[in-house]
């Protein structure tokens, strides 16, 4: 959609947009020339940027580059080293994790380069007929559909439900699933996704009282049936980075 450029002297008008099938916050924001976060904030969207068809969104006016303009309600994200965002930490802490509930943390890729929690949930519920929907406990976005490195928490974590991401129910019963959006048979995960993955895995290891040996990639669990999380996922580097360095001889 084309927006009309207004003379700078006039107050910038906000426009509305009605969500169509297949729309994402990322896509709408890009086509309107605003940031996903500005669009989400203006419309009070949840962290996971859930949209429903027919929903009306206010497209925020583009901010002119002007010093001392009205301050945003929240301070901009600090350029701090990657840590798990506090709301995610709180949500992870809030779930009542039974001792021994989980034995593995399994890493997947989605196999496609755009994705939202909502779209994956719909696919798993309607196409794969999983009554609990979204098969993973966590999803990490890549900037297309979800924010780059954004961590989404599914109800399977909140409610401590079995996963739906492995080949057998016995495996799903004891394995947390983390899915990174992207096709890592074609390219590597981006740096922000890996930073978020590291922060999330560290947090879950502590929360579930697991050792780094509990962290696996999907291919290590279901060897024959999958290359997930893709040939470009840095499996050895990532898994080794979780472990303390070996003692010197």
Tell me whether residue 103 or residue 220 sits nearer to Zn ion (CB atom): 220
Q: Is 108 in the site for Zn ion (CB under 5 A)?
A: yes
Of the pair 108, 118, the CB lying nearest Zn ion is at: 108
Residue 20's DSSP bridge partners are none
Q: Which of 138, 228, 230, 233 binds Zn ion (CB under 5 A)?
A: 228
CB closer to Zn ion out of 60 and 133: 133
Looking at the Cβ atoms of 214 and 228, the one nearer to Zn ion is: 228
CB of 164 to Zn ion, least distance (A): 11
Q: How far is it, in rounded angstroms, from Cα 196 to Cα 77?
A: 15
β-pairing verdict for 175-180 and 138-142 = parallel
Asked whether the beta carbons of 217 and 228 are under 8 A apart, the reply is: yes
Does 137 bind Zn ion (CB under 5 A)? Our answer is no
By CB under 5 A, residue 124 contacts Zn ion = no
User: Segment near Zn ion (CB under 5 A), from 54-62, 96-104, 189-197, 215-223?
Assistant: 215-223
Taking the least distance from each CB to Zn ion, the nearer of 31 and 132 is 132
Q: How many residues bind Zn ion (CB under 5 A)?
A: 3
88 binds Zn ion (CB under 5 A): no
Shortest distance in whole angstroms from residue 179 CB to Zn ion: 7
Shortest distance (Å) from residue 218 CB to Zn ion: 3
Give every CB contact of residue 204 below 8 A, 6+ residues apart in sequence. Answer: 92, 105, 176, 210
Residue 218 makes contact with Zn ion by CB under 5 A: yes
Q: Which is nearer to Zn ion, 160 or 183 (CB)?
A: 183
Nearest to 167 by CA among 230, 228, 222, 234: 222
The residue range among 31-39, 43-51, 65-73, 216-224 that interacts with Zn ion, by the rule CB under 5 A, is 216-224
In the complex, least distance from residue 128 CB atom to Zn ion, rounded to whole angstroms: 13
Asked, as a colleague might, if the bond just before 229 is cis with ω within 30 of 0, I would say yes
Residues that bind Zn ion (CB under 5 A): 108, 218, 228
């Amino acid at each position: 959609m084309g927006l009309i450029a207004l003379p700078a002297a006039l107050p910038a008008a906000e426009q509305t947009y009605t969500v169509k099938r297949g729309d994402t916050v990322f896509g709408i924001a890009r086509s309107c020339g605003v940031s996903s976060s500005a669009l989400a904030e203006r419309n009070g969207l949840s962290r996971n940027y859930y949209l429903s068809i027919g929903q009306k969104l206010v497209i925020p006016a583009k901010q002119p580059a002007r010093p001392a303009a009205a301050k945003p309600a929240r301070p901009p994200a600090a350029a701090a080293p990657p840590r798990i965002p506090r709301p995610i930490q709180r949500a992870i802490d809030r779930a009542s994790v039974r001792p021994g509930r989980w034995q593995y943390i399994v890493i997947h890729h989605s196999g496609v380069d755009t994705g939202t929690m909502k779209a994956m949930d719909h696919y798993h519920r309607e196409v794969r007929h999983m009554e609990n929907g979204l098969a993973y406990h966590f999803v990490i976005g890549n900037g297309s559909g979800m924010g780059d490195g954004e961590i989404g928490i599914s109800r399977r974590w909140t409610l401590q439900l079995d996963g739906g991401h492995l080949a057998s129910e016995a495996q799903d019963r004891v394995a947390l699933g983390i899915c990174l959006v992207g096709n890592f048979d074609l390219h590597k995960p981006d740096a922000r996704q890996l930073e978020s993955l590291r922060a999330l895995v560290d947090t879950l290891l502590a929360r579930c009282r697991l050792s780094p040996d509990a962290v696996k990639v999907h291919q290590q669990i279901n060897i024959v049936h999958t290359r997930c999380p893709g040939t470009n996922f840095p499996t050895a580097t990532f898994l080794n980075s979780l472990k303390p360095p070996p003692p010197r001889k």
